[in-house]
Structure 1
Amino acid sequence: MKNIKDIELQLSDTIKKALQIIDSGAMQIALVIDKENKLLGTLTDGDIRRGLLKGYTLDSSIKDIIFKNPTVATISDTKEDILRKALEKKIHQIPIVDHENRVVGIKEIEELVKPTTKTNKVILMVGGLGTRLRPLTEKTPKPMLKVGDKPILQTIIEKFAEYGYLDITMCVNYKSDMIREYFQDGSKFGVSINYILEEQRMGTAGALSLLKEKPTEPFFVMNGDILTNINFEHLNNYHFSNNSLATMCVREYDFQVPYGVVNIKDNRILSIEEKPIHKFFVSAGIYMLSPEVLEYIPKNQFYDMPTLFKKIIEENKNTASFPLREYWLDIGQMEEYKKANEEYYEVF
């Protein structure tokens, strides 16, 4: 995804400045944003030419000639979603916005049809015991349970590969030989796989202290029992644009109280809410971390992600939440495993 700093305009800018930006850039487009980085519209050479024909001059403001309803994609759109939108509208670039309409980048359609390899590392936590899925996990590690026609872990790897993230490390423990034997060095899946053996349970973050080669750029961490259609490239760009030290993917979760809730003060009833629904954001088990985060993780100790985030927050370092809108399922119990198999072919 392209950086947009060189193609940004404000409503108060002149047509002359817009021409300079468009002519100097390879994308032939400018994005018009407000002070909060929210997208107001786009501007192309064609928009400017039409404005000049209407009598506007080079010193006129761009505010009356911008295209105010551009086609955009959101950070939760998959590569297929973006490509479909672009082809339908016959456009070569499409701005990417978050769920508050803030611009995080711009995607060129040529990039979507031409695979590119990214250098960000992917760390997969696949050492869990899967006790809640017994008896299925008595002989098979949970990430190797089949959903559809392949192991859960294979689908995860293929989704990362789809976005060009091929450098994968697996943190293994329980029945690790089955995982190693199936994936080997990853070449038959188009990726490169290294393994870290957890001699003891290390938690969702502790195994990061065992990395032989420390990442030099932001890297992904993901639990090995999750099925999702997340756009990993958008997560990477979102982490960067928010200048975040640690980014956590979050999922909205709602819980309905099965009773009427009575709000009281002292002995007086203030109100009654009938079966209210409470909404929360929960961790989705997918993270983007900057290399500096590794300094917070103790060596060879159990350490989980919530503890890591608490430590970073306590030190007033910047963290970010990446809300998931796309398909996501944590296969932790038998009910979710059955649901995953029912939905797999429709989603993937």
Structure 2
Amino acid sequence: MKCLILAAGYATRLYPLTENFPKPLLKVGDKTILDWLVDDIDTARLADEFVVISNHKFARQFEAWAAAKQQKISVVDDGTSTNETRLGAVNDIRYAMEKLGIDEDVLVIAGDNVLDFSLTKFITYAQKKKASCVMRYYEPNDQKLLKCGIVTIDANDKVLNMTEKSVNPATHWCCPPFYYYTRNDAKLIQKGIDNGCGTDAPGSFFAWLSKQTDTYAMEMQGNRYDIGNLKSYEEVRGTYKGIEK
């Protein structure tokens, strides 16, 4: 399994902190955000390679970080240099897979979130299902629902429908940007793009895929901390205690 880490954004809401520095390399406690994610997944040796998908502006900084790590980490530069010219998350996934010739299961995660539970539980869940999977959590705030991927499931976690940033959310089940794609499903990403799936939000491909084949949504085993602006970053720095379970 390869782990693809989406890190090509420009984090404009965190300026000036991230004007010349990538958000995934910000420190939370004694580690960078990327360290928390990579070190957790590596504990179970479930990924044989980590791939950080960067923009051109920050690629060298990610390469310097990767060089100091013990894990096998590749950095893919998507060639963009501004927020206005970014490829979008789905196109970044396609670009990295084609560039590296990836032909196996892939875990796709956002590089700007920290969790207080181990992602290995999600990986194990998906491998037992032998299907592409996403995580879900209950979001009571109606306004926050408008900014999320929303999933409808049956009693066995099977995804019946998924939408991205719907104006009329069907449920309160939100999907954070963590996805497991089987080898065969990952090959469909170009077909999804050709058939009109969105390319900006990372969940757009999964939403399209869920209409083509059986997919599942595991309820999150803890909390996710999204670092979206300066205020949320300071809050996470003050409260995050690491992976607890």
Regarding TM over 0.5, the answer is yes
Structure 2: gaps of 5 or more residues: 81-85, 144-169
The structure-2 alpha-carbon separation of the partners of 1:227 and 1:136, relative to structure 1 and needing over 3 Å to count, comes to: same
Given the two structures, how large is their TM-score scaled by the length of structure 1?
0.53
In structure 2, which of residues 12, 15, 23 is the aligned counterpart of residue 134 of structure 1?
A: 15
Deviation of the 1:279 alpha carbon: 7.0
The structure-2 alpha-carbon separation of the partners of 1:250 and 1:214, relative to structure 1 and needing over 3 Å to count, comes to: farther
CA contact (8 A) 2:114 2:224 kept: yes
Deviation of the 1:168 alpha carbon: 0.6
The letter for the 2-side match of 1:291 is R
> What's 1:296 paired with?
188
CA contact (8 A) 2:130 2:182 kept: no
Calculate percent identity across the aligned residue pairs: 20
The structure-2 alpha-carbon separation of the partners of 1:346 and 1:151, relative to structure 1 and needing over 3 Å to count, comes to: closer
In structure 1, which of residues 201, 206, 209 is the aligned counterpart of residue 91 of structure 2?
A: 206
In structure 1, which of residues 168, 177, 180 is the aligned counterpart of residue 60 of structure 2?
A: 177
Tell me the SS of whatever aligns to 1:254: coil
> What's 1:337 paired with?
233
> What's 1:104 paired with?
none
Q: What RMSD over aligned residues (CA atoms) do the two structures have, in Å?
A: 2.6
CA contact (8 A) 1:169 1:194 kept: yes
> What's 1:228 paired with?
115
CA contact (8 A) 2:28 2:237 kept: yes
Tell me the SS of whatever aligns to 2:203: helix
Q: Deviations over 1:31-55 (max 9, x none)?
A: xxxxxxxxxxxxxxxxxxxxxxxxx
> What's 1:192 paired with?
72
Deviation of the 1:151 alpha carbon: 1.8
CA contact (8 A) 2:116 2:242 kept: no
Deviation of the 1:121 alpha carbon: 1.2
State how far apart, in whole Å, the 2-side matches of 1:295 and 1:346 are. Answer: 34
In structure 1, which of residues 328, 337, 347 is the aligned counterpart of residue 224 of structure 2?
A: 328
Structure whose alpha-carbon radius of gyration is higher: 1
Q: Deviations over 1:247-293 (max 9, x none)?
A: 11122211279xxxxxxxxxxxxxxxxxxxx9712121111111222
How many residues are treated as equivalent by the alignment? 204
Given the two structures, how large is their TM-score scaled by the length of structure 2?
0.74
| Map 1:1-348 → 2, pairs under 5 A | 120-164=1-45, 165-173=47-55, 174-184=57-67, 188-200=68-80, 201-210=86-95, 211=97, 212-244=99-131, 246-255=132-141, 280-298=172-190, 303=199, 304-315=201-212, 317-345=213-241
Structure 1: gaps of 5 or more residues: 1-119, 258-277
Q: Deviations over 1:116-148 (max 9, x none)?
A: xxxx21110111100111111112111111111
Tell me the SS of whatever aligns to 1:135: coil
The letter for the 2-side match of 1:189 is K
Which has the larger share of strand?
A: 1
Q: Deviations over 1:290-315 (max 9, x none)?
A: 12223332399972433212321232
